[in-house]
Amino acid sequence: DIVMTQSPLSLPVTPGEPATISCRSSQSLLHSNGNNYLDWYLQKPGQSPQLLIYLGSDRASGVPDRFSGSGSGTDFTLKISRVEAEDVGVYYCMQALHTPPRSFGQGTKLEIK
């Protein structure tokens, strides 16, 4: 099974400052079609997970453009250009290429300083 490793696991951020979360896969997530099958999800406190980024860098509908995804192969990054209070929660990466099973990272808890 694919192992997804996120860092850091805890991320205190001052509002207005940028934030970066890394995700590494134990195998390449690059498909022969050129797409990287890596998604990012955010689970806000008391809510269900929501899709932020799919195919490594495509923002889901309604996701603010301060969120961006990048990377290819085994190394991926989620960046928030300017953190807002509403961005607190746990961020997960998930691989969707080598399934089953779908594999999630351990989660990164973003909190406001």
* Residue 54 near residue 39 (C-beta atoms within 8 A): yes
For the segment 67-86, give every residue that binds another protein (CB under 8 A): none
- Does position 37 interact with another protein (CB under 8 A)? The reply is yes
Stretch that binds another protein, among 15-23, 33-41, 70-78, 81-89 (CB under 8 A): 33-41
For the segment 11-30, give every residue that binds another protein (CB under 8 A): none
For the segment 43-72, give every residue that binds another protein (CB under 8 A): 43, 48-51, 54-55, 58, 60
Q: State the Cα–Cα distance between residues 56 and 96, nearest whole angstrom.
A: 10
- Does position 91 interact with another protein (CB under 8 A)? The reply is no
Tokens of residue 113, six digits = 């300083």
